[in-house]
A and B are shown apart, each in its own frame.
Chain A
């Protein structure tokens, strides 16, 4: 599962822009991954300008 290091996130929307599965919601001050939609393509992890996203082993 993809998790966000919330203190790094700037809510810029890059992760949303490259998510082919519409699995990321970006509320004004909240990053939300919809795990049942996520295909773990890792586009969001790759694009993040501040490397705020990472793969977590925890489900």
Chain B
């Protein structure tokens, strides 16, 4: 490890690894600092991605078979009364995140980035108002490492963002507090991702059951942080398992926070950029963040490399990243947020009525846009939002 790099990426998840790779491919010297002792672990993730998204971020290559634990071809949403609505032709994958993250980090390393694990960043250094480096504990040594640009890919608890004054903390309402088990001996349709809704099951969120093959599944839920003071996410999950899957064996238990928030006002500052969960970029309604994080990392890494070539690391120069993000993924982010607010407010009775109405539509004619239109029938001002994002 040197004492100075063009770019330091804090966090070796998907956003950080892709940003590191793009910056390195653009000619920058890049260091990735990961706090955990191994890239990819622990897996705090439901691991579901859509096929279109996974293909997009794999280009020009194909998604690697090793990344994929299981393929799904449809969705099933379950109403509070147990009625369910199937949706076909929704192709997606349940990933093996450990191997996936490993591979993204390997790609960054192949592009020339240096990756160090068990590297705990505990502060930023500043020079004339610009972020100019990090202080870190690496294998017992106190280090100051200098850089021209810091990319904060340090997750939902981002401290790079706070230290840089980018106000990354969440209000309780907009952080889903989540618990998940990976279980064996799960009896369900293995071709579908399952979603359970209900104010008793998961207030302000939902339950997911994602099959992983061989009778395994990720079973988890998120509830809005505003509801978790009385009952924790883990308690809600135990209640769900007792009711719907009492006979499964739990192989892994994990908890974590998922951003379901509006886009951050500021994604960059002088000498600093934020990507992924640190930038609240997960889809506010699904909580899906893998593909979105990688897309953001891809833009940020390229913009960082361009800024280095022009020797301008000011917020003004780095703003090319949020500009591009808002033209693409970011364009619909706040619409998804508005839809989240509407959908997660539906009463159990409204959810049951929605399922009933959807069941009467032949399965081949059902679409996600149609589901939202029917669910929001009594909230017409949100229907246009649903049409905008799903059509």
B358 CB, nearest partner CB in chain A, Å: 31
Q: Which residues of A contact B169 (CB under 8 A)?
A: 17-20, 22
- Cross-interface CB contact of B257 among A12, A28, A51, cutoff 8 Å: A12
| Complex Cα spacing A47 to B234, Å | 11
| Complex Cα spacing A10 to B157, Å | 13
| Chain B interface extent, by class | 20 to 34
* Contact of A35 with B by CB under 8 A: no
Are B35 and A28 closer than 8 Å at their CB atoms? yes
Q: Which residues of A contact B171 (CB under 8 A)?
A: 18
Known contacts A28-B35, A51-B232; is-contact A10 B255 (Cβ 8 Å): yes
Residue of B122, B159, B226, B235 with most chain A CB atoms under a 10 A cut-off: B159
- Cross-interface CB contact of B170 among A10, A17, A45, cutoff 8 Å: A17
B293 CB, nearest partner CB in chain A, Å: 15
| Complex Cα spacing A35 to B197, Å | 39
Q: Which residues of A contact B158 (CB under 8 A)?
A: 17
Residues 318-330 of chain B: 1 if any A CB is under 8 Å from the residue's CB, otherwise 0? 0000000000000
A:6-57 near B, CB below 8 Å: 10, 12-14, 16-20, 22, 25-28, 42-43, 45-51
Are B35 and A47 closer than 8 Å at their CB atoms? no
Q: Which residues of B contact A26 (CB under 8 A)?
A: 157
Are B233 and A49 closer than 8 Å at their CB atoms? yes
- Cross-interface CB contact of A17 among B233, B254, B255, B257, cutoff 8 Å: B257
List 22 interface pairs A-B (beta carbons < 8 Å), by A numbering. A10-B255, A12-B254, A12-B256, A12-B257, A13-B155, A14-B156, A14-B177, A14-B257, A16-B157, A18-B169, A18-B170, A18-B171, A27-B120, A28-B36, A46-B225, A46-B226, A46-B228, A47-B257, A49-B234, A49-B255, A49-B257, A51-B234
| Known A12-B257, A47-B257; 12 more pairs at CB < 8 Å | A10-B254, A12-B44, A16-B159, A18-B171, A27-B120, A43-B225, A45-B229, A47-B177, A48-B177, A50-B233, A51-B232, A51-B235
- Please give the residue numbers on chain B whose beta carbons come within 8 Å of chain A beta carbons, in ascending order: 35-37, 44, 118, 120, 122, 155-159, 162, 169-172, 175, 177-179, 225-226, 228-229, 232-235, 254-257
